[in-house]
Amino acid sequence: MKNHAEPREKARPFIAHPAVGRFVAILATVSGVFCLIVSILLIANYLQIQALDPLNQPELLALRQRLAEAPEADPALVEPIRVMDLLARKAFFTSQAHLHMGGMLLLAGVIAFLIALKLAARCYPRPPAPVGSKDPDRYWNERARTKEILAFAAVVLAVAALIAAYLTPLDIPGPARAEPSAVTEVEAAPAAFPDWEAIQRQWPSFRGPGGYGVAYFDTAPTEWDVATGENIRWRVEVPLVGFNSPVVWDNRLFLTGATESVREVYCFDADSGELLWTRAVPAFPGAPETPPKVSDDTGYAAPTMAVHGERAYAIFGNGDLVSYDFEGELRWGRNLGMPDNHYGHASSLIAFGRHLFIQYDEKRAPRLIAVDAETGEEAWVAQRKKISWASPAYIHTPLGVQVILNSERDVDAYDPESGRLLWTVECLDGEVAPSPAYGGNTVFVANEYAMSTAIRLEAVGAETKPAIAWEYDELLPEVASPVASDRYVYIATSLGDIACLDLETGKTVWEQEFDDGFYSSPVLVGDRLYALDLEGVMHIFGAGAEYKLIGSLPFGEGGFATPAYLDGRLYVRTQKSLLCIEQRDDSST
């Protein structure tokens, strides 16, 4: 043991050195103040950057914004931007340098301060001495008190934790929500709902049976004259405007119309045009107080209704979803929550089997909802990714029925019973309004700003494998949905072009320009194609390898909705009116 070292070491801590101590105390004070000043400066620097980031000054951003909006480079804007940008960058790098320098200075200052403090403490030591008189019981009393306080603190902590846990419940649904609930009861298909055979003979939804623009009957009229009334069976005015298309089942025709505050469902007699009943949709719990903002091109009644058996279904831009029977009784209705959609909700309804499908692709929670067509209860929900304004279609494949949806990025196919995603192809872009076309085991989708894609479906075992057959990007639609037959696919653009492409290869077969653009979707009726342009002129031409115009017949009012084509009849909704054209003689080919 180092006996000599110990006394020296032991003595040193307790000897006072007042002279040195005074000097060191001054050092400590000086360095302490220095540290304080540097700390305050650093904090001030930091707060200043937080308040105004030099790189994101509002004036500079505003100038950049104005330059972006100007049609060309304006020297009056460019010069100030350059000057301000240079100043901003200088300010940014200077403040960085200041921060670093300040940090270094503070570190040095703190080291100096601590050394001085320690020395000062050494110079004024507190020599060892026993602490006052000892109360013999103090030790035990202190222990007892410690026990009490410890127990108390533990209880307080536990109670506080419990209260905190109670006040901040986790706002996430329980496990039941995790899986899309499939309808579990397996019953025979209710007789109330029609099968595909029956559906095909009606016009039950947007773009006809299945929703892909192909009519069942090929006997639609080819000649009529609005001026003389030739072949016009009836013409009525629709009380409120809307861009939705007429749907027809047997002798009932349904439409909706809406304004900002009123939403109405209309039922017309398909034979006479008589307005049988009007129903104003009631306010449902959860309906938004203020109506959604919609663009003029959408309005509040853009989605087309769906008719299924003896039920008619409608959806509106504020999220109201209703089901009426043919007598006008409200069977069920509710509000799906306000859609976050900058143009306004536009996807139409479609029904098949037991379910009504709602493509609710709004920004916040895009989804495909399937409700029980009879009760309105949610059967399943498939979460989706992107917003869209297209409508669903359903196709019959060798492996079963698939519901096809377009969105801003993908084409998805769902199983109508369970909502399971069967296949998906990422091929779209832009703001998608056109709906899918289907012909000859190929799904065709198109949109402005995207590569229009033909997706060939192949059944591999129990799965459907999609494969991109070809792409096309010359004449693209913005609103009107393309339509396909077994051999060709037809595209109608907003600028008035119609293109016919070969479905197998994608090669252009013919192109035709018209005076006005198309919003209404073209429909294939037998071997003819009907396309209604924005001015309300119906162009009818042969659907085949050669372009053959059969007729261009005006309606006298703008045309946006897609007409309904039934046996010998066509129902069209123009801007303000609803017409029924009937041609029963055998001159139609």
Partner 1 sequence: MMRCVRLVAASSVFLILTGTAAAEFRFPMPEFASDYQPPQVHAPMPDLDNSALDVAVLAGALAVAAWLTLKARSRRGLFLLAMFSLIYFGFWRKGCVCAVGSLQNTVAAVADPTFEVPLVVLAFFVLPLAFALFFGRVFCASVCPLGAIQEMVAVRPAHVPKPIEQVLALIPYLYLGLAVLSVATGAGFLICRYDPFVGFFRQGASFNMLVLGGVFLIAGVFIGRPYCRFFCPYGVLLGWMSRFAKWHASITPGECVQCRLCEEACPYGAIHAPSTVGPPVERRQGVRRLAALLLATPLIVGSSAWAGAMTGEMLARLHPTVNLAERFTQEERGVFQDMTLDTEAFRSSKKSVPQLYAEVDEIRRQFRRGSAWLGAFFGIVVSAKLLGLSVVRRRGNYEPDRQACLSCGRCFAYCPVEAEPKASTRSDLPS
Partner 2 sequence: MKPLDRRDFLRAAAVAAGAGLGWRAASPKPGAMVWQIDPQTCVQCGRCATNCVLNPSAVKCVHSFQICGYCDLCGGYLQPGAKTRDTGAESQLCPVSAITRTFVEDPYFEYTIDEDRCVGCGKCVKGCALFGNGSLYLQVQQDLCVHCNECAIARDCPADAFRQVPAEDPYLLKTRPAEGGPPV
Question: Which residues of the shown chain bind partner 2 in the complex (CB under 8 A)?
Answer: 55-56, 64, 67-68, 70, 72-73, 77-78, 81-82, 85-86, 89, 92-93, 96, 99
Instruction: State which of residues 63, 81, 117, 232 lies at the interface with partner 1 (CB under 8 A).
Output: 117
CA distance 511 to 504: 17
Q: In the set 270, 369, 427, 501, which binds partner 1 (CB under 8 A)? A: 427
CB closer to partner 2 out of 87 and 157: 87
Q: Which does 112 bind (CB under 5 to 8 A by kind): partner 2, partner 1, none?
A: none
User: Does an H or E element contain 492, and which?
Assistant: strand 488-492
Q: Tokens 């479609």 map to which residue?
A: 350
Stretch that binds partner 1, among 205-213, 246-254, 324-332, 424-432 (CB under 8 A): 424-432
H/E stretch holding 320: strand 320-325
H or E stretch at 333: strand 330-335
The binder of 93, among partner 2, partner 1, none, by C-beta within 5 to 8 A per type, is partner 2
- Helix axis angle, 75-123 relative to 18-51, nearest 10°? 160
Nearer to partner 2, 95 or 508 (CB): 95
What is the 8-class DSSP label of residue 209? G
212, 473, 478, 539 from 517: Cα distances, Å: 20, 18, 10, 12
* Residue 159: CB minimum distance to partner 1, A: 8
Minimum Å distance from CB 451 to partner 2? 16
25 binds, among partner 2, partner 1, none (CB under 5 to 8 A by kind): none
Q: What angle do CA 449, 455, 458 make, to 5 degrees?
A: 165
Site string (70-109) toward partner 1, x via CB under 8 A:
-x-------------------------------x---x--
158 binds partner 1 (CB under 8 A): yes
Verify binding: residue 497, partner 1, rule CB under 8 A: no
283 binds partner 1 (CB under 8 A): no
Binding partner of residue 547 among partner 2, partner 1, none, CB under 5 to 8 Å per kind? Answer: none
Residues 17-56 touching partner 1, rule: CB under 8 A, are 39, 46
Q: Alpha carbon 382 to chain centroid distance?
A: 13
Task: Classify the phi-psi angles of 394: left when phi > 0, otherwise alpha if psi is within -120 to 50, otherwise beta.
Answer: beta
99 binds, among partner 2, partner 1, none (CB under 5 to 8 A by kind): partner 2
Task: Label residue 34 exposed, middle or buried (CB < 10 Å: 0-12, 13-18, 19+).
Answer: middle
Residue with smaller CB distance to partner 2, 69 or 586: 69
Q: Does 552 bind partner 1 (CB under 8 A)?
A: no
**126 counts as binding partner 1 under rule CB under 8 A:** yes
Give the binding range for partner 1 (CB under 8 A) out of 3-11, 82-90, 189-197, 228-236: 3-11
Q: Convert 141-178 to b/e letters by CB count within 10 Å (16 or more is b).
A: eeeeeeeeeeeeeeeeeeeeeeeeeeeeeeeeeeeeee
- CA nearest to 301, candidates 287, 281, 283: 281
Q: Max Cα separation, the chain? A: 131
Helix (H) or strand (E) holding 198: helix 196-200
Picked from partner 2, partner 1, none, the partner binding residue 277 (CB below 5 to 8 A depending on kind) is none
Q: Smallest distance, Å, CB 428 to partner 1?
A: 7
Which member of 389, 394, 488, 490 binds partner 1 (CB under 8 A)? 389
From the number of C-beta atoms within 10 Å of its C-beta (0-12, 13-18, 19+), residue 224 rates as buried
* Two tokens, residue 269: 């007699």
Where does this chain touch partner 1 (CB under 8 A) — which range of 127-135, 245-253, 544-552, 568-576?
127-135
Helix axes 75-123, 58-69, angle to 10 degrees: 160
Q: Does 229 bind partner 1 (CB under 8 A)?
A: no
Strands 549-554 and 537-542, sheet pairing: antiparallel
Nearer to partner 1, 430 or 556 (CB): 430
Residue choice 26, 55, 97, 149 for contact with partner 1 (CB under 8 A): 149
Residue from the set 479, 529, 543, 570 that interacts with partner 1 by CB under 8 A: 479
Q: Does position 162 bind partner 1 by CB under 8 A?
A: yes
Compute the least distance from the CB of residue 481 to partner 2, in Å: 28
Tokens representing 274 are 């008589």
CA distance 410 to 445: 10
From the list partner 1, partner 2, none, which binds 169 (C-beta under 5 to 8 Å, kind-based)?
partner 1
Residue 40 binding: pick among partner 1, partner 2, none (C-beta 5-8 Å cut-off by kind): none
| Residue where the block lists tokens 């072009």 | 497
**Do 245 and 304 form a contact (C-beta atoms < 8 A)?**
yes
Q: Which does 396 bind (CB under 5 to 8 A by kind): partner 1, partner 2, none?
A: none
Report, in Å, the least distance between residue 242 CB and partner 1.
13
